[in-house]
Amino acid sequence: MIFLLLDLVLIIVAARLLGGLARRLGQPAVIGEIAAGILAGPTVLGAGLSAAIFPVEVKPQLTALADIGVVIFMFLAGLEIDRDRLAGNGRSILAIAVAAFATPFVLGCAIALGPLARHHDGNQLAFPLFLGCALAVTAFPVLARILQDRGLFTTRLGQLGLAGAAVVDIFAWCALALVFASARPEFDDHWRLLLIVPLVAVLWWVVRPVLARAVTAERGETATVLVGVCGAMATAAVTEWMGLHLIFGAFLFGVIFPRSQRPRAEPGAQLVSSLFLPAFFVVAGLRVDLSGLDRAAVVEAVVIVTAAITGKMGGTYIAARLCRLDRRTAGALAALMNTRGLTELVILNIGLTLGVIDTQLYSVLVLMALVTTAMTGPLLTVFGVRRPPPPELGRERPGTPPSEGRTTPAAPT
């Protein structure tokens, strides 16, 4: 217990320091937080020192805390999805999202059967599907944070980016569910997977209206946070029992949670997540060992990064131009959709836990997530989307809604 408490303090402090450093460099905080995890692993500290700081007996406990952080994070990610926005620009959003998902997904499947064939685990379906998901996902919460920092929420670019990323992530979770089903042949109760349909129906038509009446302003902020966190964990437990991952349930509960209570639920949920989520970065970083990459892995890294960028940005740009966006806006949208960040790490850890990918490929894919996320800010500047000047004292940042009745979400990192 002593090691666990000390490690948790070390993790939180390191994540805050490096996350703040990343922000000063114009990057999302998640870049620094992921770097903190990698620094704690064998890549920098070496296997011996890393094991001394994070003993084997502490890792299962850290993993449990990390799972709690991820559950709350996925609840917040679902909470960020603007259901009205999805319905408002349906055709353009759907066209852009399909292209932004399908192009890198197909490229991911292709390289899984070609240049990455040596990592094939023998599962003819799970491995290529997983690589497709890994390249196709967009980090919705990190993208929201970037838009918030640049005051772009009220612009058409911001609306298309957020809504498109939300749809892409929904596609990715659906595809990942197929990976789960095919990668767990030992799971005897496959009939439980069919319960996802009635679960979604119950959540939307029964739980959502009940929450809308039960979670009111009279209940207070504390009660709202408790309902959100407990509901996310309970729904996560249901999807875990069904044979899916706990992230699905937490994400679904965030989607159906009353949007009128989002300003009340977010601060408390973010506080809970900020306490436990850094443990996820360290657990993820402890599995990364870039020092063990051979020449073939370096070539594979180049192939993966190239396919990820080309597929995501190329597909998004072409679709945006077909939707009659000008070149700069289409390019900026492509840069936004190329963001991966924490959502990518969640998916990669699932793949490693299931045994769909090995440790070396996992390390390369984490590197891809860092590169593509770090590219977003500089690319936005190239396409003419510059960071706004700091707001004057007592004045709101241009493009940022006032704090009363806020519609701009404070995205988790």
| pLDDT score, position 233 | 95
Please give the DSSP secondary-structure letter assigned to residue 401: P
Cα distance between residue 172 and residue 169, in whole Å: 5
**Domains of the chain by residue range:** 2-47+68-382
- Nearest-angstrom CA–CA distance, 282 and 45: 13
Give the residue with greater pLDDT, 99 vs 170: 99
Mean pLDDT, range 279-292, rounded to an integer: 80
Q: What is the pLDDT of residue 361?
A: 92
Average per-residue pLDDT in the chain?
A: 83
Q: What angle do CA 295, 298, 300 make, to 5 degrees?
A: 110
Residue with tokens 């959003």: 93
User: Which whole number is the average pLDDT over 129-140?
Assistant: 91
Tokens of 102: 């399908």
% of the chain surpassing 70 pLDDT: 87
Nearest to 300 by CA among 43, 117, 92, 81: 117
pLDDT over 90 percentage in the chain:
29
86-90, 145-149, 251-255, 272-276: which range is least confident on average? 86-90
Tell me the angle at which helices 262-286 and 2-24 cross, rounded to the nearest 10 degrees: 110
CB neighbour burial string for 183-217, b if at least 16 within 10 angstroms, e if fewer: bbeeeeeeeebebbeebeeebeeebeeebeeebee
- Residue range 102-120: mean pLDDT, rounded: 90
Give the residue with greater pLDDT, 299 vs 389.
299
pLDDT single digits (tens) 56-74 = 888 889 888 888 988 898 8
Q: Which CATH architecture has domain 2-47+68-382?
A: Up-down Bundle (1.20)
What is the reported pTM? 0.80
Closest CA to 341 of 19, 10, 8, 16: 19
As a whole number of angstroms, the distance between CA 142 and CA 377 comes to 11
Nearest alpha-carbon partner for 248 in 181, 176, 144, 182: 176
DSSP 8-state class, residue 194: G
Query: pLDDT-derived band of residue 398, with 50, 70 and 90 as boundaries?
Result: very low
Helix, strand, or coil (residue 321): helix
Residue 245 tokens read as 């991952």
